A and B are shown apart, each in its own frame.
Chain A
Amino acid sequence: SQQGEEDPQALSIQEGENATMNCSYKTSINNLQWYRQNSGRGLVHLILIRSNEREKHSGRLRVTLDTSKKSSSLLITASRAADTASYFCATDEVGSEKLVFGKGMKLTVNP
């Protein structure tokens, strides 16, 4: 089964810097979503991008999708300490309704 893989697996930056996380997947998809998870909590949906979209913005978040390379990136601009969390990409295969999550990436924003 296909799987999203985030890269890098861990990232540590200073407050105010931008953070870029990448996700690669293996099969054709309908949609790709990004979630964040604070330690010990549930996942929170950030943004959804459809397979026919190339870029999407939401506040300080910018997501790109390149279906030819089977990859997506999540950019968080002007990061804050409160952005410290794990970030996951998730994809749904064509023909399936389940959302498959990647292994996640831990972002640490130092004040």
Chain B
Amino acid sequence: EPEVTQTPSHQVTQMGQEVILRCVPISNHLYFYWYRQILGQKVEFLVSFYNNEISEKSEIFDDQFSVERPDGSNFTLKIRSTKLEDSAMYFCASSGGQGGRSPLHFGNGTRLTVT
């Protein structure tokens, strides 16, 4: 069964550094998402992406964050200047239909640790 893959599985970075989290969504999916989860708690929506542009974003997704689909397969989340509070699990997801109306398929996440 096709799956969403995320790399790296664990990223450690120093405060103020830039990080890029990478995702390969399921190949025929059109909708892409980033979520984060702090310490196994609530899963928070960050951004949705469709047709090569952001379709919706949360208050968390400020100017420090950006997303890109540089080619036909990868979907990346960049954090320009990391803060301690950015430490979390970051999950990429994709779906074949518009969010909410179709199941989301999640990757296993990237654990980001900011020191």
Q: Which residues 62-108 of A have a CB within 8 angstroms of B?
A: 86, 88, 91-92, 96-104
Shortest CB–CB separation between residue B34 and chain A, in angstroms? Answer: 11
Complex Cα–Cα for A4 and B11 (A): 30
Q: Is the CB–CB distance between A97 and B55 below 8 Å?
A: yes
Confirm or deny: A26 has a beta carbon within 8 angstroms of a beta carbon on chain B.
no
Q: Flag whether B4 is at the interface (Cβ < 8 A).
A: yes
Residues in chain A near residue B106, CB distance under 8 A: 42-44
Name A's interface SS: strand
Q: Is A13 an interface residue when CB atoms closer than 8 A count as contact?
A: no
Whole-angstrom CA separation of A101 from B31 in the bound complex: 17
Contact B103 A97 (CB under 8 A): no
**For the complex, what is the distance from the CA of A29 to the CA of B52, rounded to whole Å?**
26
Task: Please tell me the number of chain A residues within 8 Å of chain B, measured between CB atoms.
Answer: 26
Q: Is B69 an interface residue (CB 8 A)?
A: no
Complex Cα distance, B89 from A86, in Å, reads 15
- Closest residue on chain B to residue A103 by CB atoms: B42
Evaluate whether A42 and B109 lie within 8 angstroms (CB atoms) in the complex, with A31-B100, A96-B56, A97-B56 already known.
yes
Category for how many chain B residues contact A: 20 to 34
User: Cβ of B104 and Cβ of A45 under 8 Å apart?
Assistant: yes
Are the C-beta atoms of B100 and A98 separated by less than 8 Å?
A: yes
User: How far, in angstroms, from A91 to B93 measured CA to CA in the complex?
Assistant: 16
| 17 sample A-B contacts, Cβ–Cβ < 8 Å, listed by A number | A30-B100, A30-B101, A41-B108, A42-B91, A42-B106, A43-B93, A97-B48, A97-B98, A98-B58, A98-B99, A99-B45, A99-B99, A99-B100, A101-B42, A101-B45, A102-B42, A104-B41
Residues of A bordering B, CB below 8 Å = 29-31, 33, 35, 39-45, 48, 86, 88, 91-92, 96-104
Q: Which residues of B contact A (CB under 8 A)?
A: 4, 31, 33, 35, 40-45, 48, 55-56, 58, 91, 93, 98-109
